[in-house]
Amino acid sequence: MSAPFYVQGAWFVGALLFIFGLKGMSSPASARKGIVIAGYGMLLAIAATFVIPGLQNLGLMALALVLGGGGAWVSAKKVKMTDMPQMVAIYNGMGGGAAAAIAAVEFAKGEMHGLVAATLATLGALIGAVSFTGSCVAWAKLQGVLKKAHRLPAQNAVNVLLAVIAVGLGAAVIVLAPQQPELVIAFFVVALVLGLIVTLPIGGADMPVVISLFNAFTGLAVGFEGYVLGNPALIIAGIVVGAAGTLLTQLMAKAMNRPISNILFTPLAASGPGEAISGTMKEVGPIDAAAMMRYASKVIIVPGYGMAVAHAQHKVWEMTSILEEAGVEVKFAIHPVAGRMPGHMNVLLAEAGVPYDKIFDLEEINGEFGQADVALIIGANDVVNPTARTDKTSPIYGMPILNADMAQNVIVIKRGKGTGYSGVENALFYTDNCRMLYGDAQPMAGEIIQQLKAMG
């Protein structure tokens, strides 16, 4: 069913609002405004769809909006900041699943006209189905439902075989559907299984990149299905999201110094015994940690997932304010893959009220660690591991890291002596200038605050 010109115009305006919204999301200072603008674009696109003459199933459409919107509203209000990555993963999966479902419905109706439309619908279905089940696995891993990676014998061969079968069935669907509906069913089954099998072996260290990659997949799937439906809003929004997700995925893979193919097909595991680490871990108490920072000229704070788990961002900002009142220069250093999703640490710090001009990316801050009196690491591990520079047998070798070890003193707030996601021992913790403050980040930050207040 073709939409009248005023509906097409509204869809186009909605797509433009998506673009302006995405532009706003490129900076923390304008991200909230960008989300609101994109939301208005979505509202306009949905409203325009409801006024298409002769449209059927309006009641079911309205019910779907109420159920989906209501569920999203409630879950978004209740979700913890530490659980935000898995919410992003599952919502992204829903987008991919919706794109695949659109293609399934169009094939079932037998209204696929033209080779181009059928090809794009099939591509969107394949990509969307893989994104759906893959994102579900990502959610399960981040939520703790799946405790470890599961790798099949000859995993890469299985991946390739399933991909070839899916493409072959897709080609058959383009030529024969709807005359052969069993082909459509087989195609979707294989595509869904492919998403599961590809994602199950991937460990938590690579999950931020995987989420970003599936986000790009979902965007492409939506764009393809938008062409099939003749909806410019879906086409533009899908292409924009797909392009942005692809760029982000490439940037994150570069930040880990790992090609995307390596992330998908090679487990993160050491290729050798690794270099021996000399030295011992040396503990420090809250009073000494407070004194080191109180009488410093410059402190750089490196937050990690441990800070998020402990909900310590507000305490950390309170500690920062006390230090600044005492004349200490304090900055925050963020690694591109810190946390469990892109921008995770930035969001947590913004929630606590940390000004944007105090938060710096790796490229902006790395040259300043050598002039810092103290580098305070809160729940971060792999992103500050100097092994990435020296040990060629390490799985994180070559990964750009924050140069925290170059500070005059390093304080690490950590719950225990365990390794990071990569499973690699952190050589930083054994260096002469590093001290370990064991405990959850929030109570430890609280104790440091008490000691700082006592020092006046």
Place of tokens 């950590």: 414
- Note the Cα 331 to chain centre separation in Å: 24
Cα–Cα distance between 98 and 365 in angstroms, integer?
A: 41
Output the CA–CA distances (angstroms, integers) from residue 446 to 64, 103, 299, 358, 442, in the order listed.
46, 54, 18, 21, 6
For residue 209, the surrounding DSSP H or E stretch is: helix 207-229
Q: Which of 222, 244, 45 is nearest to 120 (CA)?
A: 222
| Contact yes or no for 95/211 (Cβ under 8 A) | no
CA–CA–CA angle 132, 165, 105 (5° rounding): 50
For 15, the token pair is 């797509």
Alpha helices in 230-259 (DSSP H): 232-255
Average model confidence (pLDDT) across the chain: 87
Residue found by looking up tokens 């080779």 in the block? 115
437 DSSP assignment: E
Contact between residue 97 and residue 221 where contact means Cβ atoms under 8 Å apart: no
Residue 427 DSSP symbol: G
Q: Which two tokens stand for residue 449?
A: 């605050």
The total of other beta-carbon atoms located within 10 Å of residue 31's CB is: 18
What is d(CA 371, CA 333) in angstroms, rounded to the nearest whole number?
A: 14
Angle, helices 207-229/84-109, rounded to nearest 10 degrees = 30
Average of pLDDT values for 158-167?
94
Burial of 249 (0-12, 13-18, 19+ CB in 10 A): buried
Q: Does residue 194 contact residue 131 with C-beta atoms inside 8 Å?
A: no
- Percent composition of the chain: helix, strand, coil (DSSP 3-state, to 5): 65, 5, 30
286-455 architecture in CATH? 3-Layer(aba) Sandwich (3.40)
Report domain extents, the chain: 1-78, 88-265, 286-455
The pLDDT score that the predictor gives to residue 328 is 96
Please say if 391 is a catalytic residue: no
Condensed to tens digits (0 to 9), the pLDDT of residues 334-373 reads 998 887 777 788 888 988 889 988 999 999 999 999 999 9
- Which of the two residues, 272 and 36, has the higher pLDDT score? 36
Average pLDDT over residues 18-35: 85
Task: Say if residue 13 is exposed, middle or buried (CB neighbours under 10 Å; 0-12, 13-18, 19+).
Answer: middle
d(C-alpha 37, C-alpha 75), whole Å: 22
The answer to whether the CB of 126 falls within 8 A of the CB of 163 is no
The pLDDT value given to residue 271: 46
Residue 306 CB coordination number (10 Å): 21
Q: Output the pLDDT for position 266.
A: 64
Task: Dump pLDDT digits (tens) for 285-302.
Answer: 999 999 999 999 999 999
Amino acid identity of residue 211, one-letter, is I
> Which tens digit of pLDDT belongs to each residue from 398-449?
888 999 999 999 999 998 776 666 667 889 999 999 999 999 999 999 999 9
* Residue type at 396 in one-letter notation: I
Query: Is this model's pTM higher than 0.85 or not?
Result: no
**Other C-beta atoms within 10 Å of 111: how many?**
12
Question: Which helix (H) or strand (E) covers residue 333, if one does?
Answer: strand 329-334
Q: pLDDT (tens digit, 9 = 90+) per residue, 220-264?
A: 999 998 888 888 888 888 988 898 888 888 887 877 777 777 777
More confident residue, 114 or 7: 7
* Catalytic hit among 206, 361, 382, 440: 382
